[in-house]
Amino acid sequence: DIQMTQSPSSLSASVGDRVTITCRASQGISNYLAWYQQKPGKIPTLLIYSASTLQSGVPSRFSGSQSATNFTLTISSLQPEDVATYYCQKHNSAPWTFGQGTKVEIK
């Protein structure tokens, strides 16, 4: 099975900072990569799919990019409401594997 490796596992940044989370696939998955946000005590919500397509209603400060098997989620200006754990997920074939998650906190 293809493994999804996320980094870092956690980060702390100031409001307004640019935040970057990376996800590496152990094999090629084309652009079938999604990002989810899970706020504390809440269910996950889809932010981005197909590596860079912003889900409807998601603020434009979130963006996704790809370079081969390396994927990046960027928050251009961190806001207090962005405190959450972020997960990447491959969605090209079974299993729909998630990364381990990145916990984002405000400094």
Partner 1 sequence: QVQLVQSGAEVKKPGASVKFSCKASGYSTYYIHWVRQAPGQGLEWMGIIDPSGYNPEYAQNFQGRVTMTRDTSTSSVYMDLSNLRSEDTALYYCVTSLSAIRWSPFGYWGQGTLVTVSS
Note the residues at the interface with partner 1 (CB under 8 A).
Answer: 1, 32, 34, 36, 38, 43-46, 49-50, 85, 87, 89, 91-101
Task: Residue 61: count other Cβ atoms within 10 Å of its Cβ.
Answer: 14
From the CB of 47, what's the least distance to partner 1, in Å? Answer: 10
Residue 26 or 77: the one with the smaller Cβ distance to partner 1 is: 26
To the nearest whole angstrom, how small is the minimum distance from the Cβ of residue 24 to partner 1? 16
Instruction: Classify residue 61 by its DSSP letter.
Output: T
The side-by-side arrangement of strands in the sheet containing 84-90 is 10-13, 102-106, 84-90, 33-38, 45-49, 53-54
Cβ nearer to partner 1, comparing 82 with 87? 87
Rounded to a whole number of angstroms, the minimum distance from the CB of residue 40 to partner 1 is 11
Cβ proximity to partner 1, 17 vs 55, nearer residue: 55
* Distance between CA atoms of residues 51 and 71, nearest Å: 7
CB 45 within 8 A of CB 34: no
Q: Which is nearer to partner 1, 45 or 77 (CB)?
A: 45
Three-state SS for 86?
A: strand
